[in-house]
Copies of this chain bind each other. A is one copy, B any other.
């Protein structure tokens, strides 16, 4: 604690990302990265990149990327906001739409960055308790609130809401912004993009980090009615005019254009997930029904923390959250078939 820190900084409780250890090479199943490389088009972009152009600022409005995303989702350009990863987009959305005098709602078991944003931007919140089976109690999101954030599928459970359930939440909250955080939607959940034209309170946030294999370039985006997008632009342009660099812009555009490759990879991951889930269930693991590129698992007799440590010793990293209700669970990213074979082998020796 320093005397120079602002009152705000003193009370912060920053987010801690999954570890990125440098001591040895791990089978890394702890940060939900995609095991497959990005679209082959990305290679061409980097090889042919005009290095001289780096002396110039990027387009602050990222028009070409917005055009490409708009076309991809069948919306207009002014329905699209882009940012430096979906975390930045979420942070801007908290500033743009939530207030100091009205409690927002999000699930108690969810992305652990939400309370961090609420804290730094001084927004009061109430967590909605998931049911015993970790599904989201839709009715609890119909009470008075200053805004809602729900990941679909939820993290770290992987469990998805149906589009009808999301629509029910949107319909009953027409005066507040409902953020559906679709970071993992491409791995089996249904996107709410089609509801944008119907509900002006809906903001969808997605990312290229997971399903497009581009965690390394930091591009996330929001889709919603143009008033919401304009709110995000106002916040962004009060913090940083140029949030996405020239290389990332071009890489992102090429990646979004290559849907065949991306769909094929998503399908491979879903297939691997199906196989791994079946193997784990045979070994007395409880496995949540996942629509994401990770699974949330708990063993009937062996403590999650012990499995986590033993796996780490064996060179396999998964994510363990030492938090109430989920401290006997592990979140395991779905890697390549080869990585998951190693994971299953190690699990077998542990249990």
A-side binding surface: helix, strand, loop or mixed? Answer: loop
Q: For A9, A53, A246, A248, which residue has the most chain B Cβ atoms within 10 angstroms?
A: A9
Please tell me the number of chain A residues within 8 Å of chain B, measured between CB atoms. 86
Query: For the complex, is A156 an interface residue (Cβ under 8 Å from B)?
Result: no
Tell which of A235-243, A311-319, A337-345 binds the partner: A235-243
Cβ proximity bits A30-66 to B, threshold 8 Å, 1 near / 0 not: 0101111110001100110101111111111000000
Q: Which of B16, B42, B55 contacts A38 (CB 8 A)?
A: B55
Copies of this chain present = 2
Q: Which of B28, B58, B217, B240 contacts A247 (CB 8 A)?
A: B217
Within A200-216, which residues are at the interface with B (CB < 8 Å)? Answer: 200-201, 209, 213-216
Smallest beta-carbon distance A332→chain B, Å: 17
Query: For the complex, is A3 an interface residue (Cβ under 8 Å from B)?
Result: yes
Provide the residues of chain B in CB contact with A119, threshold 8 Å.
238
Smallest beta-carbon distance A260→chain B, Å: 18
Within A82-131, which residues are at the interface with B (CB < 8 Å)? Answer: 84-85, 87-88, 91, 95-100, 116-117, 119-120
A and B contact pairs by CB, cutoff 8 A, 20 listed = A2-B228, A4-B176, A4-B227, A4-B228, A4-B231, A9-B234, A12-B235, A33-B57, A36-B55, A42-B54, A54-B217, A57-B209, A58-B216, A84-B84, A84-B243, A91-B240, A95-B120, A216-B246, A218-B244, A247-B248
